[in-house]
Amino acid sequence: MAFGPRIAELRRNAKESLQDVANAVGVTKTHIWDLERGRSANPSLTVIEGLANHFKVSVAFLVGEDIEAGDADPELARMFRLAGQLEDHERLAVDDMIQSYIRRRKEREQQRRA
């Protein structure tokens, strides 16, 4: 699950309003709304940590990097375990490939919007 929907789900499960979460984290209600909707792509570490502390979850869980989370993709967890067997230079190559795929996808999406 992506960052925004995860925040929304945590907020709903806690039966809190946008304003409740905003007050707890020290940001505006609009900022929480934008985060939930994916309109704020790069929240500060302070905000991420504040949200994690407020909802009593790890930062890794909140940002979708916890491979042990209940909603984690089992295929990605398998690939993560396999990557642990690689040497450092091999991991760097895999990371570079992943970043390249992400950049290309973003470029294609931008071209479609234009």
CATH number of the domain where residue 36 is located:
1.10.260.40
Which domain does 89 fall in, by range? Answer: 84-113
Q: Based on the structure, what is the number of domains in the chain?
A: 2
Identify the band that residue 9 occupies on the pLDDT scale cut at 50, 70 and 90.
very high
Contacts for 44-51: CB closer than 8 Å, 24+ residues apart = 50/24, 50/25, 50/26, 51/7, 51/10, 51/21, 51/25
The values of phi and psi at residue 44, to 5°, are -70, 155
| Token pair in block for residue 74 | 């089992």
Q: Nearest to residue 36, comparing CAs of 7, 16, 71?
A: 7
Distance CA 99, CA 114 (A): 23
pLDDT tens sequence across 36-70 = 998 887 789 999 999 999 999 988 888 877 777 77
Q: Which pLDDT score, from 0 to 100, does residue 33 have? A: 95
104 and 58 together in one domain: no
52 and 97 together in one domain: no
11 and 42 together in one domain: yes
Q: Which pLDDT score, from 0 to 100, does residue 47 have? A: 93
Would 96 be classed as within a structural domain? yes
90 and 55 together in one domain: no
Q: Which pLDDT score, from 0 to 100, does residue 25 have? A: 95
List helix spans (H) across the chain: 3-13, 18-25, 29-36, 45-55, 59-62, 74-83, 88-113
Q: Which pLDDT score, from 0 to 100, does residue 46 have? A: 93
Distance CA 53, CA 19 (A): 16
17 and 52 together in one domain: yes
Would 78 be classed as within a structural domain? no
Would 88 be classed as within a structural domain? yes
11 and 49 together in one domain: yes
Name the pTM for this structure.
0.66
55 and 88 together in one domain: no
